[in-house]
Amino acid sequence: MTDRYAVIGNPIEQSKSPLIHTAFAQVTGQDIEYTKLLAPLGGFAQAVDAFRAAGGRGMNVTAPFKLDACAYATDLAPSAQMAGAVNAMKFDGDKVYAENFDGVGLVRDVVTNLGCSLRGRRVLILGAGGATRGALLPILAQAPAEVLIVNRTLAKAQALAELARQHQTDAVPVRGAGYADLGTQSFDLVFNATSASLSAELPPVPVSVFAQGALAYELAYGKGLTPFLKLAQQAGVTHLADGVGMLAEQAAEAFAWWRGVRPDTQGVIQQLTVPLV
């Protein structure tokens, strides 16, 4: 029998998840149906209840329901607790298992797809929103030399650094700061985890943040050369990436969690890649 999955959000039309999971099902020979589910604002629980009652096995969760999914879950994985957000759920009787695979997807893209180790490297993360919350523990688990979180709202960067210090098992130095504190410090990996690129804006980051041989990683995807990537290019950075690989890898983690088989992501990444020009 065909097992049913869906991505739930509002709006939902833009979601690439059905395309990705349908491709994964084809390459792994899994018999699943994966659809988009538009839930009304305030109607998350009822929509998920109905999907489960109709035999649904699991869901991805996108904006604005990632917090609702935290409250809905019966078993929240540490990744979702730290992120304060859920992006995948698995249903088993009365149990609702909930995960957040964004961070592990990001790290897998950087380390495996882009061949860029984090171990012993200096890492700068711009932004202190949901994506940074999800990415922090998986990044720290790679044992970088240090992680600096910089945010427009300083208090959010500092609170997140404190949270990471409490949760991490390794003793990686983690600090929170404002853009003005960056000075002339430079970093081996610079992640733009702000949403500035979604409105073609540039966070106020100095061009000096990119160390020689740095990776500049834009978490947004499908936007081509964003202002952040342009800045990196002007600084002489040749290793540029956007978040398409992160998107594919977090989906592959969810697929493996649901189906017990990990799909190859290269086909999906190629299909969704927008050239960085």
In the shown chain, the binding pattern of residues 179 to 218 toward ligand NDP, with x for contact by CB under 6 A and - for none, equals --------------xxxxxx--x-x---------------
Distance CA 225, CA 233 (A): 9
Q: How far is the CB of 106 from ligand NDP (least distance, A)?
A: 7
| 245 contacts 265 by C-beta, under 8 angstroms | yes
Angle between helices 244-259 and 17-28 (to 10 degrees): 50
Q: Which of 66, 90, 156, 230 is catalytic?
A: 66
CA proximity to 59, closest of 97, 95, 20, 107: 97
Q: How far is the CB of 93 from ligand NDP (least distance, A)?
A: 30
Q: Is 128 in the site for ligand NDP (CB under 6 A)?
A: yes
Strand order in the sheet with 122-126: 174-177, 146-150, 122-126, 187-192, 210-218, 239-242
DSSP run (H or E) holding 219: none
Count residues contacting ligand NDP (CB under 6 A)?
A: 26
The distance from CA 176 to its chain's CA centroid, rounded to whole angstroms, is 20
Distance CA 74, CA 249 (A): 25
Binders of ligand NDP in range 39-98 (CB under 6 A)? none
Q: Give yes or no: 66 in active site.
A: yes
Q: Specify the residue, 77 or 145, whose C-beta has the smaller distance to ligand NDP.
A: 77
In the shown chain, the binding pattern of residues 140 to 169 toward ligand NDP, with x for contact by CB under 6 A and - for none, equals -----------xxx--x-------------
CA proximity to 191, closest of 136, 261, 254: 136
Residue with smallest beta-carbon separation from ligand NDP? 129
Q: Specify the residue, 52 or 87, whose C-beta has the smaller distance to ligand NDP.
A: 87
Q: Specify the residue, 113 or 145, whose C-beta has the smaller distance to ligand NDP.
A: 113
DSSP labels, 140-166 = HTT--SEEEEE-SSHHHHHHHHHHHHH
Q: Which residues are catalytic?
A: 66
Query: Contact positions toward ligand NDP, by CB under 6 A?
Result: 102, 127-132, 151-153, 156, 193-198, 201, 203, 219-221, 243, 246-247, 250
